[in-house]
Chain A
Amino acid sequence: MEFGPHLLLATLEGAVGAAVLSLTAVGLSLVFGVMRVVNIAHGEFFMLGAVLAWFVAQYVAGHPALGFTAALIIAPLIVGSIAALADLTILKRLDYDPERTIVATIGLLYIIQQLTLMTYGPEARPVEPPFNARIALPWFEWGENGFQFYYPWGLSTTTYKLAVIGAAAAVLCGVWLMMTRTRVGLIMRATQADGEMALAFGIPVERIYALVFGIGAGLAALAAVLIVPIQQAHYLMGGDPLLLSFIVVIIGGLGSLPGTVLAAVFIGLSDGIISVFFSPTLAKILATLIVGLVLVFRPQGLFGTRAA
C-alpha cells in the first residue's frame, strides 16, 4: 500500500485504540486524582466488563443489538458495584495507604482473574457487534487526469469502529459535565482538592470514595463493552489496558481529566502511526522509551501542573 493510505489507515486504527484507552484511563485518573491511590486491579475491572458483556449477550435473545445494548448498561453497573464493595470492605480499612493499597489491589487482581478463569473459562469469546458494515475509503492523487479519487486496495474501516470513537467521545463529554456541572462533581472536586477540609464541611468522604472507585471501574467496564465486539473477552486481557492507562494518566498529568484524554489520544495515535515507519516490535520499544523519557524530563506530565 502507498504511504498516504497506509498512514490514514494507521491513524484510524490509532483513533479506535485512543477512544477506548481514554475511557479506561479517565476511570483510573478519577480514582487516582480523588483518592490518591494506585489501583492495580483497574485492568481486571476492564476485563470483567468484557466478560460480563459476553454473559449478557448470551442471555439476551433476538437481534445482537439487543444483547449489546443490555450489556452496555448492565456490565458497567455490576462492575461498578463490585468495585464499590471492594472499596468499602478492603481499601477503606487500609486508610487508603498508597503502598498497602497496591498490594491489596494486586491481591484483588489475582482473585478476579482466578474466579473468571473458573467460571468463564480460558477461551477468548466474541460478542457480536450491533452493526458492522465494511466501508471502503477513498484516497486521492494527482494523476494524468489531474486530481482524482480512487479506492486503494485494503483501505477501509467499519461502521462499528467509527461508532466506538463516537460513543467514547459522548461518554467523555458526559463525565466532564458531571464533574463540572453537577453537585456530585463539585463534591468530588472538593474531596480531591482537600479531603480533610471536605470532611470538616460535612461531606461524607467515605461514601464519595466508594462512589468514585465504582465510577472509575464502571468506566473501564464500559470501555471494555465497547471494544469486545472487536477484540473478544479473555480472562488475561486486563494487563495491557492497565499498563497503557497508567502511562496515559501520568503523561496527561495527575488528576487532570482533559490532560488524560489528550494523552490517550496522543498515545493511541502514536501507537498506530509509529508502526508505519518502524518494524512492529521496534516501534513498541521506541514508543515505550519515549513515554519513559517524557516523564524523566517533564515529571508533571505533558499537560499537568503538579508533579506526580
Chain B
Amino acid sequence: MNKSNTTRRAAIQTLAGAASLPLWARFADAQSAAPIKVGFQVHRTGIGAAYGRWYDRTTQAAVKLINDGGGINGRPVEIVAEDDGTDPKRGAEVVEKFANLHDCDVGFGTLFSHVVIGSSPRAGELKLPYFVVSEGHHVASGKLNRYTLQPGITDVKSQVQAMAPYVANNLGKKVTMIFPDFAFGHDHRDFFTAAIEAQGGEVLEQIAIPPVETSFTKYFPNIPRETEVLYHVMVGPAVLTFVKELGEFFGPSRPEVFGFIDSLEAVDLSSSGLEFLEGTYFWEGNPRYAQADQSEHDKFYRAAVGVDENGASISDPADVSTYAHMFGCWETLHIIKAGMEASGYQGPSDRAALIEAVEAMGEMPESQAHPQGAKIFNGKTHQVFGHQYISRVENGRLVKVHTTSIEDTLYPDEVDYTTQPL
C-alpha cells in the first residue's frame, strides 16, 4: 500500500479488512510465519519512566498497525519489551538479552542518552541493529558504531541550531541560557551559543543548574537585567517547580521566554502555577495540540496511539503524552519495516543487509509512516533530519507559529559510519 496517497478512509477500510481475518490467514503466504522480534528497550522505572510509558503506547500502536497491514515480509512483528531502569549498565545487559537470549532481530526504542551510549558498544559487538529514539547528538557525532542508527527522530544539534534564526529575528538578540549541568544541557549551551552568534546575537549568561537541584529561585538573580530572551531547557521531575519559580521571580515584568518542551513533556499546561507560560515560546518536535492545519497523517497517528486533540490520553485527559518525542517510535518502526522489506530480510544473517538498506534510504516524504513530517536520512552519519516546530502558548494551548525548513537543521557530517565494517 502506498501510504503517502492513502486516504484515511481507505486506510481504515484496509485495516478493518485485514483485522477481520484470522491471524494465520493474514501471514499465511510467508515462507515462515515465525514473528520478527523487535527488542524494545524501555524506561519503565527510573528517571525516564514518564517517557517510557508513552514510548510503549506509541510502539504498541505502530506494531498493531503494521501487523494489521500484514506484518513485515509476511511475518508478524513481536515486541519483546525489557525494562532498562533508565540505567546504562542495565541497558547494556538488556541489549545482550535481546541478542543472546530472546534472539531478537533488532533492538529499538531507547531514549535517554546515557543508556544509548552505554548500550551501543554491546549492540555493535553483537552485531544487533540498534535503532535509538533519543534525539541525542551521540549518533551523528561519530561516537557510536555502524550498528547504531537514529532514523526516526532528529538530534539536539539540528534542533537547537534551527531555533536560532527565529529567536534572533523575532524575540531578541541578547539571550540568557538556563540548562542542566550535564551533557544534554552542555549540548544546548554549545550548539545554541554558536548558532545565535551566527545570527548576530549573543549569549549574555549561561546558568548551569546542578542535576540534583530541587529549588531554583536562588539562581535567577544571575540573569542579567538586559536579557531580551530567556532560553530554558530543563528535564526531570523538578521542571514544574522551575517554571513556577521563574514566574514568581519575574512577576509582571518578564523578558521573552523560549524553552524546549522537554521541560514540560507529560505535564499538563493547565497545571496550577504554569499561567506564567502564557505568551512564551516552545520548541516542539511535534505539535502536542492538534493544529488548525493538522495533516490527515497526524490525525490518523493521533487516533491510533489514543491521544486526543490536546495531546492527552483519550481515556484520561490528565494523562498527558510526550508528544514531541514519541512519534520517533512510530516512525522508526516503519523504517525498520521499510528496511526489512527493501533488503528481503529473513533472519539474523540478514542484519548487515538491513543496515545497508536503511543507510540507503535518503528522503522520506510526509506520510502515515512519517506523520511528524518529511525527513532526510543521512546514511553516513546514521542520523535523520527533519522539520522543527515553534509554538506559542495562547490561552493555555500551544499554537504553532513557525515551521523550520529541513535545510535549517543541516550541518556538516562529523562521521562516515559506512566506512566501518559490517
Contacts and interface: CB of A to CB of B under 8 A. Distances in A.
Is chain B a partner of chain A in the same complex? yes
Interface residues of B, number: 40
Contacts, number: 98
B38 interface: no
A280 B240 contact: no
A6 B239 contact: no
A117 B221 contact: no
B237 A13 contact: no
A158 B241 CA distance: 14
Contacts of A128: 272
Given A117-B45, A126-B273, A156-B249, A281 B221 contact: no
B9 interface: no
Interface stretch (A29-37, A83-91, A203-211, A231-239): A231-239
A24 to B, nearest CB: 13
B267 interface: yes
Contacts of A157: 248
B90 interface: no
A16 interface: yes
A110 to B, nearest CB: 10
A122 B221 contact: no
B210 A280 contact: yes
A154 interface: yes
Contacts of A13: 215, 217-218
Interface in A1-28: 1, 5-6, 9-10, 13-14, 16-17
A122 B239 CA distance: 14
A279 B220 CA distance: 13
Nearest to B51: A122
B266 interface: yes
A280 B220 contact: no
Nearest to B209: A280
Contacts of A126: 240, 271-273
A300 interface: no
A231 B49 contact: no
A10 B244 CA distance: 17
Interface string B237-266: 111110010001111010000000000001
B47 interface: yes
Contacts of B50: 121-124
A5 B240 contact: no
Contacts of A6: 221
A210 to B, nearest CB: 31
Interface residues of A, number: 42
Contacts of B45: 114, 117
B53 interface: yes
Interface string A41-70: 000000000000000000000001000000
Contact of B220 (A17, A124, A154, A158): A154
B214 interface: yes
A157 B223 CA distance: 17
A5 B237 contact: no
Interface string A141-176: 000000000000110111000000000000000000
A307 interface: no
A9 B218 contact: yes
A276 to B, nearest CB: 7
B188 to A, nearest CB: 16
A275 interface: yes
A257 B226 CA distance: 47
B266 A280 contact: no
Interface in A94-146: 114, 117, 121-124, 126, 128-129, 134, 136
A5 B221 contact: yes
Given A154-B250, A231-B214, A122 B53 contact: yes
A154 B249 contact: yes
A240 B214 contact: yes
Nearest to A279: B208
B237 A237 contact: yes
B47 A156 contact: no
A114 B266 CA distance: 20
Contacts of A17: 215
Contact of A236 (B207, B217, B218, B237): B237
A272 interface: yes
Contact of B225 (A153, A235, A280): A153
25 contacts: A1-B225, A9-B221, A13-B217, A13-B218, A122-B50, A123-B266, A124-B237, A124-B240, A126-B272, A154-B220, A154-B249, A156-B251, A157-B248, A232-B237, A232-B238, A232-B241, A234-B237, A236-B46, A237-B214, A272-B218, A275-B219, A280-B181, A280-B207, A281-B210, A284-B210
Interface of A: 1, 5-6, 9-10, 13-14, 16-17, 64, 114, 117, 121-124, 126, 128-129, 134, 136, 153-154, 156-158, 230-232, 234-237, 240, 272, 275-276, 279-281, 283-284
